[in-house]
Amino acid sequence: MSPQYVWKNTANPTSMNRIPSEIRNVQRFAPELIGLVLSHTHGDIATLKACSLVCSAWASEARRVLLRKVVVRPAMPSHTWNDFFQLLSASHEVAGYIRRLTFCGPDKIAEQQAQTDHLSEALERLPSLTELCIKNGMFGPFERSSKAVSGADCQVNDLAPFHQLFTHFDKVETLVLHGMMADVCQLERLPRLAEGPMRQYVRVRVIPPELPPPLAVCVGTIQADRVRVVLPSNKHRKEFYQFLRRSFSPPAAGLSVSTRLVEGPDELSELLDAFDRDVRSVSINVLLISCDLDNIVAGRVKSGWNRRFYISFKSFTSIRELVLYFTTTSVMVGRHAVRLYRRNLANNWSVLSNAPRSLTNIELRFQRYGLHMPHVLDDLRVLEGVWGAVDERTIQRFPHLEAFTCILCDEGFIDHFSPFKYGEPFVPAPESSVTSRQQEFDDYAALLRGFLPRLHERGLLRFEMSDV
34 and 76 in a single domain? The answer is no
449/457 Cα distance (integer angstroms)? 9
185 touches 140 (CB < 8 A): yes
In a domain, 263, yes or no: no
92 and 173 in a single domain? The answer is yes
228 and 320 in a single domain? The answer is no
pLDDT of 403 reads: 95
Higher-confidence position of 131 and 145: 131
The beta-strand segments (E) located in 107-253 are 131-135, 138-139, 143-144, 146-149, 174-178, 181-183, 186-187, 203-206, 221-225, 228-230
225 and 91 in a single domain? The answer is yes
448 and 359 in a single domain? The answer is yes
Residue-wise pLDDT for 65-115, tens only, equals 777 888 888 777 777 888 888 888 888 888 888 889 888 876 454 455 567
Please work out, in degrees rounded to the nearest 5, the angle formed at the alpha carbon of residue 262 by the alpha carbons of 261 and 266: 55
How many folded domains does the chain comprise? 3
In a domain, 266, yes or no: no
Higher-confidence position of 301 and 1: 301
Residue-wise pLDDT for 411-445, tens only, equals 767 666 655 554 455 555 555 455 678 888 888 99
For the whole model, what pTM was predicted? 0.74
Higher-confidence position of 340 and 31: 340
pLDDT of 399 reads: 93
Give the range of the structural domain holding residue 42, as residue numbers without chain letter: 1-10+18-66
407 and 464 in a single domain? The answer is yes
In a domain, 264, yes or no: no
In a domain, 53, yes or no: yes
In a domain, 297, yes or no: yes
Which of 326, 427, 308, 307 has the alpha carbon at shortest distance from 380? 326
319 and 371 in a single domain? The answer is yes
In a domain, 276, yes or no: no
241 and 319 in a single domain? The answer is no
In a domain, 269, yes or no: no
In a domain, 129, yes or no: yes
432 and 342 in a single domain? The answer is yes
100 and 151 in a single domain? The answer is yes
387 and 241 in a single domain? The answer is no
379 and 237 in a single domain? The answer is no
468/459 Cα distance (integer angstroms)? 26
